[in-house]
Amino acid sequence: MPNYECPTCKKTIAVDKKEDAPFRPFCTKRCKMIDLGRWLDGTYTITEEANPPQFSRDPDNPDPSSI
């Protein structure tokens, strides 16, 4: 029986299978919405610049529409 911890309220949830936890990794829709609200109001942010190699411009091919 897998256990997981809700990232919002820290409640430990035990389920028999993944389908038994429709809001996973959250325990309830309420916790899911609280988390979404934190992203939307800026409580959570991603501080690292998104610059993986696939987004870098090719100096030999400056036209982005040709990708």
In one-letter notation, the amino acid at residue 47 is T
| Element at 29 (helix H, strand E) | helix 29-40
Q: Give the Cα separation of 37 and 40 in Å (integer).
A: 5
Whether 26 has a pLDDT exceeding 60, the answer reads yes
Q: What is the pLDDT of residue 20?
A: 84
Whether 53 has a pLDDT exceeding 70, the answer reads no
**56 DSSP β-pair partners:** none
pTM for the full model? 0.65
The residue extents of the domains of the chain are: 1-42
Among 1.10.150.650, 3.30.450.40, 3.20.20.140, 3.30.50.10, what is the CATH number of 1-42?
A: 3.30.50.10
Whether 6 has a pLDDT exceeding 90, the answer reads yes
Whether 63 has a pLDDT exceeding 80, the answer reads no
